[in-house]
Amino acid sequence: DARVTQTPRHKVTEMGQEVTMRCQPILGHNTVFWYRQTMMQGLELLAYFRNRAPLDDSGMPKDRFSAEMPDATLATLKIQPSEPRDSAVYFCASGKENRGQAFFGQGTRLTVV
Amino acid sequence: QKEVEQDPGPLSVPEGAIVSLNCTYSNSAFQYFMWYRQYSRKGPELLMYTYSSGNKEDGRFTAQVDKSSKYISLFIRDSQPSDSATYLCATEGSGGYQKVTFGTGTKLQVIP
């Protein structure tokens, strides 16, 4: 049963702390997306990788957010330092093509207090 | 103004009803249109994927795109309580990489 795996599922942290979220894309998929979902803004694209190369991170606050793909089986999203406004659900998604046919993980629910 | 507008609902219907979910978009360059379903505390899952104008049917679900009015719809026939979820429309332009833009979602509740 192929699925995108995200860890942790839940994270509560204090303001100023570093947060790292991890994603294992579906084997064979060459595109990886990081999205943030809030009630007010809905789903917002933070970063997009194709064949492990970052192609679009225009939606990501560069001063505190960073996204990497150390290898084809791992994508990471890091927030340093975290702020209360970063509280949201962060989704990783992967796909085979460039089009919006993405498979989403279960998400990481982040709360920054 | 958001590029993709969607009524947040909630929309409550009795079991067996026909459900109509709608989105409008502003960018005429959008060529690909998707509907995702998201259950509570789960990730979105792709339901329907269409290109350009027209209808696409899959079981009880029909996606409709009218590019002249920039209007996209999802119809659910014989709705079931298991259809209760948030439905997100999404669009994407053509030619190389284009960012997928999501609507904020419509929450649907099907009452048994």
| Residue-by-residue pLDDT tens, chain B, 112 positions | 678 999 888 999 999 999 999 999 988 888 889 999 999 999 999 999 888 888 999 999 999 999 899 999 999 999 999 999 999 999 886 655 667 888 999 999 999 9
pLDDT band of A57, cuts 50, 70, 90: confident
Residues of B in contact with A30 (CB under 8 A): none
Which residue does chain A place closest to B100, by CA atoms?
Answer: A100
Average pLDDT over chain A, rounded to an integer: 92
Q: Give the per-residue pLDDT at B60.
A: 97
φ/ψ of A86, rounded to 5, equals -80, -5
Q: Give the per-residue pLDDT at B94.
A: 60
Residues of B with CB under 8 A from a CB of A: 32, 34, 41-46, 49, 88, 90-92, 96-97, 99-100, 102-105
CA–CA gap between residue B11 and residue B108 (Å, rounded): 5
Q: Give the per-residue pLDDT at B56.
A: 92
Side chain identity at residue A53, one-letter code: A
Q: Give the per-residue pLDDT at A59.
A: 86
Residues of B in contact with A99 (CB under 8 A): 32, 49, 92
Q: Give the per-residue pLDDT at A110.
A: 98
Q: Give the per-residue pLDDT at A100.
A: 61
Residue B96 or A30, more confident: A30
**pLDDT over 70 (residue A103):** yes
> A43, B102: Cβ pair inside 8 Å?
yes
**pLDDT over 70 (residue A94):** yes
CA–CA gap between residue B21 and residue B107 (Å, rounded): 10
CA–CA gap between residue B68 and residue A25 (Å, rounded): 37
Tokens found for residue B61: 């679900």
B48 neighbors B56 (Cβ within 8 angstroms): yes
Which residue does chain A place closest to B90, by CA atoms?
Answer: A100
Angstroms from A83 CA to nearest CA on chain B? 22
Strands B19-25 and A74-79: unpaired
Side chain identity at residue B92, one-letter code: E
